[in-house]
Amino acid sequence: MSYLSLVQRFSLLLFVHFHLSLAYELNEWRQVLPRNSPKSLSSRMQRPSPRRGQSMTMEVNGKIYVFGGLATILASDLCEKDNFWTSLGEECKKMLPTNELWQFDPVISSWKKIEVYGDHPEGREQHSASVMSDNRMLIYGGKTTHFGPNKAYDAFLGDLWLLDVGRITSHIIPGSNMQALPLSLPEGETVYHTTIAEIESSDYVGLGEMCIVNVQVEVSLEHSCTKSISLALFGPVTVTHNAHLPRSRGQRVELFPLGTDSACKSHLDDTIFSDRADHSILDQFITNPYRDEYRPSSSLSLAFEGAPVNGEWTLEVYDSEVDGRRGTLKDWKLHVDIQPCKDEFTWTKIHGPDCEKSIVTANPNGRADHKCIIDANGTSAPLSHTEISSPRPRYAHTAINVDDNVFIMGGFAGRNLQDIWRYNYIENTWHLLKESQFPASTVAGKAAMIVPLGMIAFGGLHGTTTGSKIADLAIEKYNFSRAKWESLCTGGDELLDDTKEDCHKIERTSSKYSNFAPRYLASASLAGFSGGKLATKLKPSPVVLDEKRKPTFLLFGGDNGIFEYDALLDDMWASPLSTVVVGYEETLMRPRQDDFCGLLLDPTFTYWNQTCGSSGNQTTQFIGDEHKNSVCEWKNIFEMAWCRQEYQTFISPV
């Protein structure tokens, strides 16, 4: 089978089976209002300032990371000191590239600013952020501001920085560590059953005390009428304790309140209380007995996220009735995800690119001079005289990671770039794959992703001047065989169906969309699933959905194209995927996808290894292959990432 025939079939395979919460209409956008954990932030409403061009990762251990962007900075004390700042009324605002790192928890809609120690990248926008197989985030390129003696320049970056964002481990803490189980429950009384968490710090050399990222409580309890039972959890003491409670008690979180049942139900069979569950314990349609995962009546994450894990934990059980019905606490345990309490996220600069920063100036003849900034004092040298064995500095490029490689494609650096490079993360080596013909984008600043649907994107700007048309707020899918974007329906009760004209249009006169501005240079992510490496290279393994959360598109920030200081946005919007075809058990993989990816990943199919995966000449004639003089095409890279289930975010190339 020829490779081109595979490309033609690709668009037929980009389909998905999702099961969606009924809390949303099908493909409806809803604004996400942030709420922050008091354990993590001094201000409950702290969140990133308005910005555009920031990077945003997929979930890494349940968290999404946002880095950089061109942000609105308030600095009234600098207005009179620096002529680069502009005063607007009583406030002094400036849009400057930032190097802030933010963490977003999609389960509880919580933002947390990550403090970074030591050396770090300079502020930038329109860079790339690739999450590698070891959960490290690789930052490349972008645009920043270079302040010369008399003028500020747009500067293009070509540096590489590495950040570890994946130091989360999971543990089970048995409830019987201190007191025996099972435990008889006296009628009309409260009992406190205590266990202790003692996770040895020696398991995490150099990381210090460990704190909670997520906690779940599993309970097995026998009682013939659970409506007279209440359950609560106390964590290790972090505040002054009540003298009437056990000495170890800190904050109390209600799990299962009295009167949860309207009628008597029996037993909790390995019932798990989790903020990530699909249904609340207060829902009325729960079957008898309880034997699933449920959200507790109060949030565990808001109470314990960021608190130390070690110490005494107590389960409170109250039987409110003296009615001859005796219960038994059979067992309970904690499931905890932990990370170092002190977020000592450290950037590591990777040496490699020939030129890490460049500017474009006008020479006396009026022509553009491309210069490489070669030291911290701003000394420059003509970029054309610098040996180039790695990509020239750039921004607005596309970066796609496949295995241990990051493919850097196109971008802008005073002119459109059309080259394709491969960076090997393990070997720290660059290879030029193609010098030209990478397509220039017709719509700038599309926020794009590779997801089980295929390649999808949001927003974008038609043109680059005031009055340019902003693309509609559609979710678009790229059709490889037609080389065009096709809109998926949003904003109503339509199913995903790109055959209906204007099905994606959002009526902004509607009150629920009145704040949803068109935008470009926003960032996007997909929450509610966990992708993984393939178990083999012969056949894709199913994507593992988080069964208690629904796949949801997230869109954050961006620029509304007004070209004013209030053009930058800081809002986040979510759109759960609709149920296209009933078939949740197929876990996102359409059977015909195996035909496509099975051949593409077969080691005997040499196209990838001889082109995009090659380190040498790409004009080899392949034995048994009908194509001659084949080279790495950008679509090949996207297809391989999709087949390897390496789902990621990037700036759209087309």
Share of the chain above pLDDT 70, in %: 67
| pLDDT band at residue 544 under the 50/70/90 scheme | very low
519 in the same domain as 411:
yes
Distance between CA atoms of 191 and 281, rounded to whole angstroms? 21
412 in the same domain as 282:
no
Number of H helices, E strands in the chain: 5, 44
Identify the weakest region by mean pLDDT among 312-326, 449-463, 480-494, 574-588.
574-588
Contact present, 294 and 273 (Cβ < 8 Å): yes
What's phi and psi for 513, nearest 5 deg?
A: -115, 10
271 in the same domain as 226:
yes
Q: What is the CATH number of the domain that holds 543?
A: 2.120.10
Buried b (16+ CB within 10 A) or exposed e, 30-62: bebebebbebbbeeeeebbebbbbbbbbbbbbb
| pLDDT band at residue 603 under the 50/70/90 scheme | confident
Judge whether 38 lies within some domain. no
Judge whether 200 lies within some domain. yes
282 in the same domain as 244:
yes
Q: Does residue 255 carry a pLDDT above 90?
A: yes
Helix axes 634-643, 3-10, angle to 10 degrees: 70
> What's the pLDDT at 124?
96
> What's the pLDDT at 497?
41
Identify the weakest region by mean pLDDT among 121-135, 271-285, 635-649.
271-285
Judge whether 6 lies within some domain. no
Q: Does residue 576 carry a pLDDT above 80?
A: no
> What's the pLDDT at 53?
95
> What's the pLDDT at 60?
84
| pLDDT band at residue 56 under the 50/70/90 scheme | very high
121 or 506, which is more confident? Answer: 121
187 in the same domain as 161:
no
| pLDDT band at residue 36 under the 50/70/90 scheme | low
DSSP 291-317: -SEEE-SS-HHHHHTTSB--EEEEEEE
> What's the pLDDT at 258?
87
Judge whether 15 lies within some domain. no
119 or 117, which is more confident? Answer: 119
569 in the same domain as 432:
yes
Last residue of a domain, one of 524, 555, 586: 586
Beta bridge partners of 424: 405, 429
To the nearest 10°, the Cα dihedral for 61, 67, 72, 75? Answer: 100
| pLDDT band at residue 408 under the 50/70/90 scheme | very high
Q: Which two tokens stand for residue 629?
A: 């003089």
Provide the number of structural domains found in the chain: 3
> What's the pLDDT at 96?
87
Last residue of a domain, one of 568, 586, 604: 586
The DSSP 8-state label assigned to residue 378 in this structure reads -
> What's the pLDDT at 325?
87
> What's the pLDDT at 498?
43
> What's the pLDDT at 465?
53
Q: Does residue 495 carry a pLDDT above 50?
A: no
Q: What is the CATH number of the domain that holds 230?
A: 2.60.120.260
Mean pLDDT, the chain, as a whole number?
75
Judge whether 571 lies within some domain. yes
* Element of type H or E holding 634: helix 634-643
Last residue of a domain, one of 586, 610, 627: 586
Judge whether 10 lies within some domain. no
Judge whether 518 lies within some domain. yes
Identity of the residue numbered 183: L
594 in the same domain as 474:
no
| pLDDT band at residue 510 under the 50/70/90 scheme | low
Contact present, 288 and 266 (Cβ < 8 Å): yes
371 in the same domain as 485:
yes
> What's the pLDDT at 397?
94
283 in the same domain as 201:
yes
150 or 291, which is more confident? Answer: 291
444 in the same domain as 408:
yes
DSSP 168-181: -EEEEEETTSSS-S
> What's the pLDDT at 2?
40
Contact present, 349 and 161 (Cβ < 8 Å): yes
Residues 6+ apart with CB under 8 A from 419: 391, 409, 410, 432, 434, 435, 436, 438
* Structural domain harbouring 488: 46-166+347-493+507-586
CA-atom Rg of the chain in angstroms? 27
577 in the same domain as 451:
yes
400 or 496, which is more confident? Answer: 400
> Measured in Å, how far apart are the chain's first and last C-alpha atoms?
27
* Element of type H or E holding 469: strand 469-470
Query: For 8-19, how does the pLDDT look when each residue is reduced to its tens digit (9 = 90+)?
Result: 333 323 322 222
239 in the same domain as 104:
no
* Element of type H or E holding 599: helix 591-600
Query: For 628-644, how does the pLDDT look when each residue is reduced to its tens digit (9 = 90+)?
Result: 456 788 888 998 888 88
Rounded mean pLDDT of 114-131?
90
| pLDDT band at residue 84 under the 50/70/90 scheme | very low
Judge whether 210 lies within some domain. yes
Q: Does residue 87 carry a pLDDT above 60?
A: no
Q: Which two tokens stand for residue 609?
A: 């290894």
Q: Which two tokens stand for residue 400?
A: 């796609």
- Residue 341 class from Cβ within 10 Å (0-12 exposed, 13-18 middle, 19+ buried)? middle
Query: For 163-222, how does the pLDDT look when each residue is reduced to its tens digit (9 = 90+)?
Result: 987 677 889 999 998 899 999 999 999 999 999 999 875 445 455 688 888 899 999 999
Map tokens 């309890």 to a residue: 221
Among left, alpha and beta (phi > 0; psi -120 to 50; other), residue 136 is beta
Q: Does residue 335 carry a pLDDT above 90?
A: yes
Share of the chain above pLDDT 90, in %: 28
Distance between CA atoms of 646 and 320, rounded to whole angstroms? 52
Identify the weakest region by mean pLDDT among 116-130, 309-323, 546-560, 571-585.
571-585
Rounded mean pLDDT of 488-504?
46
Q: Does residue 517 carry a pLDDT above 90?
A: no
